[in-house]
Structure 1
Amino acid sequence: MGLDKEPGPAAEPADAAAAPLLELRDLHVFYGAIEALKGVSLTVAEGEVVALLGANGAGKSTTLKAASGMLAPRSGEVLLRGERVDGIKSHELVQFGIGHVPEGRRVFARMSVLENLRMGAYRLKRPDPADLDRVFSLFPVLAERRKQISGTLSGGEQQMLAIGRALMGKPELLLLDEPSMGLAPLIVQQIFEILKEINAQGTTLLLVEQNAAQALQLADRGYVLETGEVVMADEASALLSHPRVRAAYLGEVTE
């Protein structure tokens, strides 16, 4: 189901005078001859939770990869606190305060939980023990399983580990790609409660999530992508009540 393109003034954060923490300007990203992003623009203000919604193939993961340096845009700009960072490689961009939790978790399956977490702090000369304490406080199960080989964890535990590993790099901005994918509803609820706490502790979140209801209940604002373009942008509460969003992403039938 298509959505009419409806970006409006509510697409921007309320404090428009302050430079956004992250800004994507007119991004065009290609996979070979296929244009995956067709001029995507969005902003994420410091302290916000912003949801990025859309069907499979809409360009959500591509947007995150472009923001974190994993993909180079053919044109357009990625700005962090007003400074261009497009063209900087992803392993270097981590030092600018961006953490990326990829789709599918991607833990180091043959390494222990503790070794995975320490890998998340590779950019720090001396990892702060307080960061490990923070992760174990957010995810007590990881503390219990710190010596366990990561590949033997459940899907939910691996997702917690992937988030914890990203937090070990002290990100100001955390990009999350489908954190609820393949998880039982009870675990999904637990993950989103933890994300709420992470944001309350001061980490800004840009969240790709097909569970639109869960994402918009957490988010301050949201964008809807369709075939590589932003077709809607608004406050999360407005998107959650929008009949077209409810029909396309919440499974409601409208007349």
Structure 2
Amino acid sequence: MSVTTQLEKESAGGEQSAPVLLELRGLRVFYGAIEALKGVDLTVRRGEVVALLGANGAGKSTTLRTASGMIAPREGQVLLHGERVDGIKPHDLVRFGIGHVPEGRGVFPRMTVLENLRMGAYRFASVDKADLDRVFTLFPRLGERKSQLGGTLSGGEQQMLAIGRALMGKPELLLLDEPSMGLAPLIVQQIFDIVKEINEQGTTVLLVEQNAAQALQLANRGYVLETGSVAMEGEASELLSDPRVRAAYLGEGAA
């Protein structure tokens, strides 16, 4: 079902839905001659966690990078609060309330934890102590290591730092790209618990994640990308129980 049709259906049915925060319309993105996104439509409503699933090379990270302004689409639109923001530079788009935690974390290895976090607040005249306190409350380990260089942290600690740095920008929408990659199961659970808490505190989340079970248990809705196109979309619980999803992403035989 197309995004437009879904929105029309909700309006006609009288359903009370949160306003759309982010909308991607017909995104086509190319790397040279290779078409990475083939007309992707996607919506994220205020307060939601939306999961974006798919195999390697399906276009998940490209979708996030396009939404945050790191890649310019050849065709299509990126809308925030109904206003087009495609074409705005990433460092300026942060001012519109988008925070992006990239795959691979991207912490500054020669800066301390505290310096990394302060970099996340670059758009403000000064660092808000309340924002630092919030990050250290969510991630007590970062508070214990605030004078330690980012490059000396463990993988899990670097992921915490990358999320904390994004939160210092006070995002309304947080884009998370593979937060569980390369982490031990216990740390993965901690990260997902914290993402849930961040969402409950009022931050909307668009989550790219290979761990489909974890992602769909956390999310309200989800999309499945296949070779640059949306193959499936729906409520997270419906996708989690769909035999095609279970066969492709949970290692189970299709019913």
Which category of TM-score, normalised to the shorter sequence, fits these structures? over 0.9
Q: Helix, strand or coil for the counterpart of 1:21?
A: strand
Q: 1:199: which partner in 2?
A: 199
TM-score (norm 2): 0.94
Is the 1:110–1:150 contact (alpha carbons within 8 Å) kept by the matching residues of 2?
yes
One-letter code of the match for 1:88? I
| Alpha-carbon distance in 1 for matches of 2:82, 2:63 | 18
**Identity value in percent:** 77
Is the 1:77–1:84 contact (alpha carbons within 8 Å) kept by the matching residues of 2?
yes
Q: Which runs of 5+ in 2 are unaligned?
A: none
Q: 2:110: which partner in 1?
A: 110
Q: 1:215: which partner in 2?
A: 215
Q: Helix, strand or coil for the counterpart of 2:210?
A: coil
- Ranked by relative contact order (alpha carbons within 8 Å, sequence separation 6 or more), the top structure is 1
What is the aligned length? 250
Cα deviation, residue 253, structure 1: 1.5
| Alpha-carbon distance in 1 for matches of 2:208, 2:145 | 28
| Alpha-carbon distance in 2 for matches of 1:232, 1:131 | 37
Matched, 1:162 2:159: no
Q: 1:227: which partner in 2?
A: 227
Matched, 1:123 2:129: no
Distance 1:160 1:11, change over 3 A: farther
Q: Which runs of 5+ in 1 are unaligned?
A: 1-5
Q: Helix, strand or coil for the counterpart of 2:37?
A: strand
Cα deviation, residue 188, structure 1: 0.2
One-letter code of the match for 2:236? A
Is the 1:10–1:233 contact (alpha carbons within 8 Å) kept by the matching residues of 2?
no
Alpha carbon RMSD of aligned pairs, Å?
Answer: 1.8
| Alpha-carbon distance in 1 for matches of 2:184, 2:252 | 22
Is the 2:18–2:47 contact (alpha carbons within 8 Å) kept by the matching residues of 1?
no
Q: Deviations over 1:7-40 (max 9, x none)?
A: 6899669667664100000000011111100000
Distance 1:223 1:10, change over 3 A: farther
| Alpha-carbon distance in 2 for matches of 1:240, 1:66 | 26
One-letter code of the match for 1:211? N
Q: Deviations over 1:93-124 (max 9, x none)?
A: 00000000000001000110000000000011
Is the 1:155–1:182 contact (alpha carbons within 8 Å) kept by the matching residues of 2?
yes
Q: Helix, strand or coil for the counterpart of 2:134?
A: helix
TM-score (norm 1): 0.94
